[in-house]
Structure 1
Amino acid sequence: MRPALHAEWTKIRTVAGPLWLLLGTVAATVALSTVATSVVNCTANGCGGDTTKITLMGVYIGQAPVAILAVLVISSEYSSGMIRTTLTAVPRRATAFGAKAITLTGVVAVGGTAAVLGSVLAGRIVLPDLGDRALSLADGPTLRAVVGTVLYLILIALLSLGIAAAVRDSAASIGIVLGLLYLFPILSQTIGDPHWQRLLQQIAPMSAGLTIQATTDLRSLPIGPWAGLGVTAGWATGALLAGGLLLRRRDA
């Protein structure tokens, strides 16, 4: 496994694309979070709404570069034919795929942490009147939202990797991933039946996963924060299993 991990790390760090996508994740997340936080009206009695969730809103856009990065980790090798070289160097396909997943997890964890902490810092700067009471990692719900958001980005990356391994084509894989992320919330808003609307929110990878950001009114959520993140983990696990199985059974 160590040689495979070294090879995957070398691929990622020697190509400009992953770095730019990670920087795009950080920039998009912090920028949108700053804009969202700047329109919050605060008074002497505090700020209305879930300030922590608003501060982390940039992830709605920041997850897109993460998904694209994860897709390109494997689909670019299919398009260039380099996948044959990879599988020749690492004949055990499960090992090769696992190395990609582990390397991707580490890279996204670093980029995601920078993006999320940058958003929280921006929120504390924009809303100085909140003091240490909110947007502080010493606050349990805020810490859970921050850590959970980083885990969410990692899960989105793994979901995208699994889909790309199954589909192989970059454009099709990106379309499927972004469709899964953004179409479910749109569909839930167009359905008039509250039961079906709530069900879609409970099973959608983004709607369910991002409940981890909520710190207030948890009883009104369609699904609990950790349970929602578990739904996203289920999507990622299913995609990885499907992608890994097809990788092992199909010709390169």
Structure 2
Amino acid sequence: MKRALHAEWTKMRTVPGPLWLLLGTVGTTVALSAAATAVVNCTANGCGGDTTKLTLIGVYLGQAPVAILAVLLIGGEYNSGLIRTTLTAVPRRATVLAAKAVTLTGVVAVGGTVAVLGAVLAGRLILPDLGDRELSPSSGPTLRALFGTVLYLILIGLLSLGVATAVRDAATSIGVVLGLLYIVPIVSQTISDPEWRRLLEKTAPMSSGLAIQATTNLGSLPISPWAGLGVTAAWAAVALMVGGLLLRTRNA
């Protein structure tokens, strides 16, 4: 395992793609969050909604580079044929996937933390009086939202890694993951039956997982924050299990 981890970390840090995608996550998250915060009409009493969730809205787009990074981690190797070299160097395929998952978790945790803290810092600078009160990391709900958002980004990365392992093509895997993240919530809004719409919102990986960002009016959510993150974790676990099984049973 140690050799596999070293190999994956070497591949991660010696090519420019992962760094640019992580910077894309940070830049997109902070920029979109700052823009959303700047255009909302806020007063000393609040912004008419969940201020913490507002400052983290950039994650909606910031998660896309994370998904692409995770897909390329193994999908890129399938496209280039490098996967044969990887599996020759480390014949135990479960070890290869585990090493990729651990490496991905580490880099996304760092990039996600920078992105989340940057978004909140931007919110505090744009809303100095309100931000000091409602965006304080010492607040339990705010801290849960920040920590949970980083976990959410990690889970999206692991979900994408599992999908790419199963599909074995980078472009197709990116389409599947982004469709799952962005198209499913759009489809849910077209459903007229409120019960079915609520069920879809509770089971889709993005709408359920991002419930972790909510700090107010939790009773109105389709699913509670930690339960929602658990749904996203279940998606990631299933994707990794299916991908791992197919990796072990198929030829490279």
TM-score (normalizing by structure 1): 0.99
Deviation of 1:47 after TM superposition, in Å, equals 2.6
Amino acid at match of 1:221: L
- In the other structure, the counterpart of 2:181 is 181
Deviation of 1:228 after TM superposition, in Å, equals 0.2
2:97 counterpart of 1:107: no
- In the other structure, the counterpart of 1:79 is 79
Deviation of 1:200 after TM superposition, in Å, equals 0.6
Return the alpha-carbon distance in structure 2 between the equivalents of residues 231 and 38 of structure 1.
32
- In the other structure, the counterpart of 2:92 is 92
- In the other structure, the counterpart of 1:249 is 249
- In the other structure, the counterpart of 1:26 is 26
- In the other structure, the counterpart of 2:207 is 207
Return the alpha-carbon distance in structure 2 between the equivalents of residues 109 and 210 of structure 1.
16
Deviation of 1:131 after TM superposition, in Å, equals 4.8
Deviations 1:192-230 (A, max 9, x none): 110011001000000000000000000000000000000
Return the alpha-carbon distance in structure 1 between the equivalents of residues 167 and 209 of structure 2.
24
Deviation of 1:134 after TM superposition, in Å, equals 1.2
Q: Counterpart of 1:174 in 2: which secondary structure?
A: helix
- In the other structure, the counterpart of 1:7 is 7
Deviations 1:148-182 (A, max 9, x none): 00000000000000000000111100000001001
Deviation of 1:184 after TM superposition, in Å, equals 1.3
Amino acid at match of 1:115: A
Amino acid at match of 2:225: P
Any residues of structure 2 matched to 1:44-83 within 5 Å, and which?
44-83=44-83
2:210 counterpart of 1:198: no
Return the alpha-carbon distance in structure 1 between the equivalents of residues 131 and 170 of structure 2.
45
Q: Counterpart of 1:46 in 2: which secondary structure?
A: coil
2:200 counterpart of 1:232: no
CA contact (8 A) 2:44 2:130 kept: no
Deviation of 1:83 after TM superposition, in Å, equals 0.6
Amino acid at match of 1:23: L
Q: Counterpart of 1:101 in 2: which secondary structure?
A: helix
Return the alpha-carbon distance in structure 1 between the equivalents of residues 170 and 85 of structure 2.
19
Deviations 1:86-130 (A, max 9, x none): 111111110011000000000000000000000000000000121
Q: Counterpart of 1:83 in 2: which secondary structure?
A: helix
- In the other structure, the counterpart of 2:146 is 146
Amino acid at match of 2:241: L
CA contact (8 A) 2:123 2:131 kept: no
Summarize the Cα distance change of 1:174–1:133 in structure 2 as closer, same or farther, 3 Å threshold.
Answer: same
Question: Once the two structures are aligned, what percentage of the paired residues are identical?
Answer: 77
Q: Counterpart of 1:76 in 2: which secondary structure?
A: helix
Q: Counterpart of 1:91 in 2: which secondary structure?
A: coil
Return the alpha-carbon distance in structure 1 between the equivalents of residues 113 and 15 of structure 2.
21
Deviation of 1:15 after TM superposition, in Å, equals 0.4
Listed as ranges, the gaps of 5+ residues in structure 1 are: none
Amino acid at match of 1:120: V
Return the alpha-carbon distance in structure 2 between the equivalents of residues 106 and 44 of structure 1.
39
Q: Counterpart of 2:119 in 1: which secondary structure?
A: helix
Deviation of 1:40 after TM superposition, in Å, equals 2.0
Return the alpha-carbon distance in structure 1 between the equivalents of residues 164 and 131 of structure 2.
44
Return the alpha-carbon distance in structure 2 between the equivalents of residues 89 and 49 of structure 1.
53
Amino acid at match of 2:7: A
CA contact (8 A) 2:45 2:130 kept: no
**Runs of 4+ off more than 3 Å:** none
Instruction: State the aligned residue count.
Output: 252
Return the alpha-carbon distance in structure 2 between the equivalents of residues 232 and 81 of structure 1.
31
Deviation of 1:65 after TM superposition, in Å, equals 0.4
